[in-house]
Chains A and B, each alone.
Chain A
Amino acid sequence: MSDRSQRRERKERGASRREFLKTTAVGMGALAGAPGAAKALDFDVETFLQKNFRRMSDEEIEELVGRLSERYSKAYGKTVSVDATGPIDGVVYGYGLDISRCIGCRRCVYACVEENNLSRDPQIHWIRVLEFEREAALRGIDLEDGNPYYDHDQVPAEDKFYLPVACQHCEDSPCTNVCPTGATWQEPDGIVVIDYDWCIGCRYCMAACPYGARHFNWGEPNVPAEEINPDMHLLGNRPRSRGVVEKCSFCIQRVRKGRYPACHEACPVGARKFGNMLDPESEIRYLMKHKRTFVLKSDLNTRPKFFYFYG
């Protein structure tokens, strides 16, 4: 384990230089007239006049999905497919995370970056792993004691424990309540999504979110064309533009097709669990029944669908 995590650390450190080189290459390509990544995010008239996703007819969604697939394919020089697969009947997703297993390796963080086309520079992470002193937890988990910037040669560090946090997909989500334009909402399968073309970037949702799960594109997001994940969902991992808010979507592009979220797959210790909360036979329901479970900031009554297990 330690060898692998050391390699990972090295890889992370080397990443910024490599990304810089790649960014420069893509930038120069764009200058020379070749399709550059930046071109994909141009704010065109069609996007400007587009409706709120929830007001679109099926035909309009189909037309949009086709338009975006074409545009991204051209921009990134590979076949990109954007889809808008809807929720599955009888499914509400729930996420579980066993904090007694988590070793703080951040593989989930980087799997998420790759899967969801998160901007490399400026850097955006949808998952934040907080490191705590075990002793501090005697007072209960006080988030002010958490350190998201830990940097060890080996994890888990001695006498520490880890708490990864991303969007909690609250049943009663403060972010969707405050959004002035109705650009973010909860889908019937419980996933809180954002219409990236409708969001005006006022960041009221970020003020309202109790979990720091929402992230704003302060600058032009940048994903090197060769690292783009071409399997995209309209409300999930498609490229975002500058000035909009984004967040974890439970990997909507995967889970609606029966796959696990990328972070779940990447976890080397099986700390992450995912499933259908409406299915009494599902693993997540079994764990909720047999483990000691808590949610973050339960006093706020947001009713997260992200559960932490321990013991």
Chain B
Amino acid sequence: MEPLKLFGSFVSGSVREVLSGSRGYYAWIALLVVMIVAGLVAYQNQAVHGLVTSNMRDQVSWGFYIGNLTFLVGVAAAAVVLVIPAYIYNWGPIRELVLIAELLSVAAIVMCILFVTVDVGRPLIIWHLAPVVGTPNFPFSMLIWDILVLNSYFLINYFIVTYLLFMAYTGRKYNAAFIMPVIFLSIPMAIAIHTVTAMLFMGISSRAFWHTAILAPRFLSSAFCSGPALLLLIFQILRRVGKIKIPDLALFKIGELLAYAMAANLFFLGVEVFTEFYGGTAHSIHARFQWFGIHGRADIAVYTWLALACNSLAFLCFVIPAFRNRLPILNVGCVLAVGGVFIEKGMGLLLPGMTPDALGEVYAYNPSLNEILVAVGIWGIGALLFTLMAKVAMAITVGKLRYSAS
């Protein structure tokens, strides 16, 4: 009975915490609510008229939604990049930050699941995927594998943060022998969500652009850029609005990790570009579309070069110690890395893969306003979820929110 009562007060304390805040906090929540409402209105429109409200068509049958999914799977890896130095190498300053990183993972996975759901033509019968009541095509369909690993990763992270916060709330030290194996398990699971999501595309042998072994390493390397870069920015916001202490040293260390990740990312990209263009077979038409455009359709090429510019500049910001050890420059690098990877892993992955289509047709896809609004709504939900969780986590970490017997 005792633990249940404790947990009840933990939950009610958390609810009180998220309901109170500064004016800036309420303004931020209000903004997110506006985003969510806009998304709901757009989704209502999609639900009434069908996916015809998107610009996807038979030629390009996956678009902005799946692009966001692949990007966010990357963000969900944010945690693992910090877990490794914090727990395996026992590097102190990063340790406290792991909690926040894991919360971001949780929010990112929720967004991933929402993006898949809005992309599906008949979300009401999505239970056909479930075991027992449905008929999941396991082990053949990589989508089932992806659902499995995404949900497992979600549960693991959700469990870790809840456990750590609950223990801190009750003023007890966490049981390392109990929670460490779970934390370690989250490392291969983070690798798995990327690899499996990449395999979802790699396994499609008819799409030459995706049918390459470099896809999984590229997913990982770009994820290790976008996730920590986003976290770096979030940490600085949190230490400004909350009382949480985050030493600059920890930020610079993450900046250093980003340099390695971006180096790998650019290297893998170079290898891919070489393979596509040196041989120049009929299959490289997708890469030609990606980098230069074909049949006069060069919309995506602009984004491709923009992403390359963002990522290269970000690399410079991270790799030169004099740059990354100055917060303003480090921050510019982070914004560039997040933007660059968002393009590269979103539209930059999806569109060249599907253009030209299986019968050689070029359909130049750009998301419709309705698609963009639905995406804005999902980002709003993710940001809201993260904000509320981070607020509780910070209050507990700094000791503001604690169990008291009275």
Mark A residues whose CB is within 8 Å of B.
43, 48, 52, 54-55, 122, 128, 130, 142-146, 148, 165, 174, 177-183, 198-204, 206-212, 214-220, 241-245, 297, 300
Contacts and interface: CB of A to CB of B under 8 A. Distances in A.
A143 B206 contact: no
A200 B125 contact: yes
Given A130-B359, A180-B129, A207 B61 contact: yes
A180 B52 contact: no
B367 interface: no
9 contacts: A143-B360, A165-B359, A178-B137, A181-B128, A181-B135, A212-B58, A212-B59, A219-B49, A242-B50
Given A179-B141, A210-B206, A43 B135 contact: no
Contacts of A54: 135
Contacts of A212: 58-59, 357-359, 361
Nearest to B356: A144
Nearest to B205: A300
Contacts of A181: 128-129, 134-137
Contacts of A220: 49-50
B292 interface: no
B57 A52 contact: no
Contacts of B203: 178
Contacts of B391: none
A199 B143 contact: no
A238 B120 CA distance: 22
A218 B129 CA distance: 21
B220 to A, nearest CB: 22
B121 A202 contact: yes
Nearest to B125: A200
Nearest to A52: B135
B213 to A, nearest CB: 17
B58 A209 contact: no
A300 B144 CA distance: 23
Given A200-B120, A206-B58, A179 B137 contact: yes
Chain B: interface secondary structure? loop
A55 B121 contact: no
Contacts of A211: 358-359
A207 B359 contact: no
A184 to B, nearest CB: 9
Interface string B15-52: 00000000000000000000000000000000001111
Nearest to A141: B360
Contacts of B59: 212
Nearest to A174: B206
Nearest to B207: A207
B276 interface: no
B143 A204 contact: yes
Nearest to B200: A204
B237 interface: no
B142 interface: yes
Contacts of B110: none
B354 interface: yes
A52 B136 CA distance: 11
B126 A200 contact: yes
Interface string B115-155: 01001111111101100001111001111100100000000
A207 B141 contact: no
Given A210-B358, A243-B122, 11 more contacts: A43-B122, A122-B52, A144-B360, A174-B206, A177-B141, A181-B129, A182-B136, A200-B121, A204-B143, A207-B61, A212-B58
Interface string B201-223: 00111110000000000000000
B121 A244 contact: yes
B285 interface: yes
Nearest to B147: A180
B204 to A, nearest CB: 5
Nearest to A198: B128
A198 B137 CA distance: 13
Contact of B360 (A142, A177, A242, A244): A142
A201 B359 contact: no
Q: Which of A215, A218, A242 has the most CB of B within 10 A?
A: A218
A216 B60 CA distance: 11
A182 B135 contact: yes
B57 A204 contact: no
